[in-house]
Structure 1
Amino acid sequence: MKRLLMTLMLLSAGTSCLAQDVDDVAKQLSNPISSLISVPMQFNFERGAGLDGEGERLRLNVQPVIPMSIGEDWNLISRTIVPIIDQQDVFPDGSRQAGVGNTLQSLFFSPKELTPSGWTWGIGPAFLLPTASDERLGSDRWAIGPTVVALRQTRDGWTYGGLANHLVSVGGGDDRDINATYLQPFVAKRISPGRTVSMSLEASYDWESQDWTAPLHLGISQVIPARRQMFSIQGGVFRYLESTPGAADWGLRFTLTLLYPKR
């Protein structure tokens, strides 16, 4: 009987520790400038693109996030987004394009300590690299500008904040100039160990054409501890609240994130 009780106690303690671990990782995953190394592979399906509304787009964003300590007080967080795109009937000629889009590289300098009110923040440069394999998948212009993120996480599982950048072209080919602002307010809530619901608005404003693009994303994610690799899966939907002519109406998102928490 004593052995049985001891075994149950050990199993209970192990389950409690596991729940605490996945909950802590889920908390870090909601923070784009945490000390967690992650490799999200974000799959997006968009429907309703093109002037006739029949176009479809598949986009896989590979976006590794790598934090590095640069002293006792500061971290440097590298965040890269490489889009791989396959689209059909987006342009009036009904053509198909498949390949790599432009790469966005962001660097955030972030203090290791929270502010007295519990906020964490990061600021640094962002670079748009003309890596597009097709002129219809991205601009051939280089662009640079500032990027900033700020967020607060509460003890009861809430995360809220925002990320922003502004990019201006600095050289490259013959495409029109880039002058665009990106704003991403977000809120997330952990609802059970390792499980999080989230909402974000990924809005961008083109100062050249004076057009907004603003999809609203809703999603739910779960951190899953595996024997050799911890990972997270997320599923969600998005709807464009504002878009340019020919843009998609709605879409689906699925994200698989490989996680490498500090031991």
Structure 2
Amino acid sequence: MKSFFKRLAQLSILCVASTPAYAQSDAAQANNPLADITAFNIQNYYIGDFTGPANATGNQFVLRYAKPVTLGSSNWLIRASLPFNSLPVGTDGQTLSGVGDFDVFAAYQFNTGNPGISFALGPQVVVPTASDDRLGADQWQLGLANVYFNATSPVFQYGYLLTWRGGVGDTNGRPRANLGAFQPFVFYQLGSGYYTGGAPIWTYNFVNDSYSVPLGIRLGKVTKRGNTVYNFFVEPQYSVFDKGIGLPKWQIYAALNMQFQ
């Protein structure tokens, strides 16, 4: 992970130091998960503490690809994510690293009549690709994804991503997965490509009644080089409400998101 953070820092310096002209709309749409633009995201969560046993840290590195697709007269957004997890196992401080479960959803984009407002709904599939069953659910999952994003203002944008997924088929002796997640988006443009806000993920596990509600504050920079919009940000997050063991107590969310226009 050290090499990742070094490379991410180098890319962030490049983004902040570059000063080409960019449209205000680029900044407003840079965090839109439904932007009609092919995107590739490199994201990382460093987890500094977990609920439950103390002195445990972890990390989740995520590669994410999103592409708008037109089928006939309908517009869809396909988004696929593959995590690489490094998580504590047992009580002796041992860390287990490997690929997690592959996640993909296809969201149908409704015509809202306003180009600044995006709304989509569609199916979600989670494939049990984890290299170790302790790094994933060890079962296929099906669910739904609903996304809303309002970028009618060049200064203030907001929205949410709501997902639910449940286990299907053979669970290999594990409890059948049943997980909901809500991710609110709030962004405020500071000018010159800088912005603040946050996008924490609130989760609820219907199987064991555990939940996590973090809050975060982000500092980001949007810049454009050629036909690519770069969005680099760092967002420390702290859980204000949680129940259960093995949930992030605090974490640092950092990413470089790229949109190819």
Moved more, 219-228 or 249-258: 219-228
Q: Which letter does structure 1 place at the counterpart of 2:246? A: G
CA distance in 2, matches of 1:161, 1:250: 23
Deviation at 1:171?
Answer: 1.6
How far the C-alpha of 1:92 sits from its partner, in A, is 1.3
Instruction: Quote the residue 2:9 is aligned against.
Output: none
Identity across aligned pairs (percent)?
21
Say if 1:17 and 1:250 are closer, same or farther in 2 by CA, change over 3 A. closer
- Point out where structure 2 has 5 or more consecutive residues left out of the alignment: 1-18
- Report 1:183-262 matches (<5 A): 183-226=182-225, 229-243=228-242, 244-261=244-261
Distance (whole Å) between structure 1 residues aligned to residue 45 and residue 114 of structure 2: 38
| Aligned partners of 1:19 and 1:193 also within 8 Å | no
- Once the two structures are overlaid, the 10-residue window that deviates more, 243-252 or 176-185, is 243-252
Say if 1:28 and 1:36, in contact at 8 Å, map to a contact too. no
Report the AA paired with residue 252 of structure 1. Answer: I
**Which moves more between the two structures, 147-156 or 231-240?**
147-156
For 1:19-98, what aligned pairs fall within 5 Å after superposition? Answer: 19-20=22-23, 23-49=24-50, 51-72=52-73, 74-88=74-88, 90-98=89-97
Q: Could you tell me whether the CA contact under 8 Å between 1:169 and 1:179 is conserved in 2?
A: yes
Instruction: Output the CA distance in 1 between the equivalents of 2:237 and 2:256.
Output: 17
Q: In 2, distance between residues paired with 1:181 and 1:141?
A: 16
Q: Does residue 125 of the first structure (1) align with residue 128 of the second (2)?
A: no
Offset of residue 227 of structure 1: 5.2
- The DSSP-based 3-state class of the residue aligned with 1:19 is coil
The separation in 2 between residues aligned to 1:235 and 1:192, in whole angstroms, is 17
Deviation at 1:215, TM superposition (A): 2.0
Q: Which residue of 1 aligns with 2:144?
A: 146
Q: Which residue of 2 aligns with 1:10?
A: none
Measured in 2, the distance between the counterparts of 1:75 and 1:48 equals 41
- Which residue number corresponds to residue 100 of structure 2? 101
* TM-score normalised by length of structure 2: 0.84
Q: Contact (CA 8 Å) 1:217, 1:239: kept in 2 or not?
A: yes
Q: Of the candidates 160, 163, 166, which is equivalent to residue 165 of structure 1?
A: 163
Distance 1:123 1:228 in 2: 28
What SS class does the counterpart of residue 22 from structure 2 fall into? helix
Runs of 4+ residues over 6 Å off in structure 1 = none
Query: How many pairs align?
Result: 242
8 Å CA contact 2:103–2:124 kept in 1: the answer is yes
TM normalised by structure 1 equals 0.83
Q: 1:221 to 1:71 in 2, by over 3 A?
A: farther
2:151 maps to amino acid:
Q
Q: Which has the larger radius of gyration?
A: 1
- In structure 1, stretches of 5+ residues that fail to align are 1-15
| Distance in 1 (alpha carbons) for counterparts of 2:164 and 2:234 | 28
Deviations 1:143-172 (A, max 9, x none): 101111112223342111111111111123
The separation in 1 between residues aligned to 2:101 and 2:86, in whole angstroms, is: 14
Write the deviation string for residues 7-56 of structure 1: whole angstroms up to 9, x where unpaired.
Answer: xxxxxxxxx98232xx3222222211111211111111111226331111
Distance in 1, matches of 2:100 and 2:126, equals 10
Shift of 1:254: 1.3
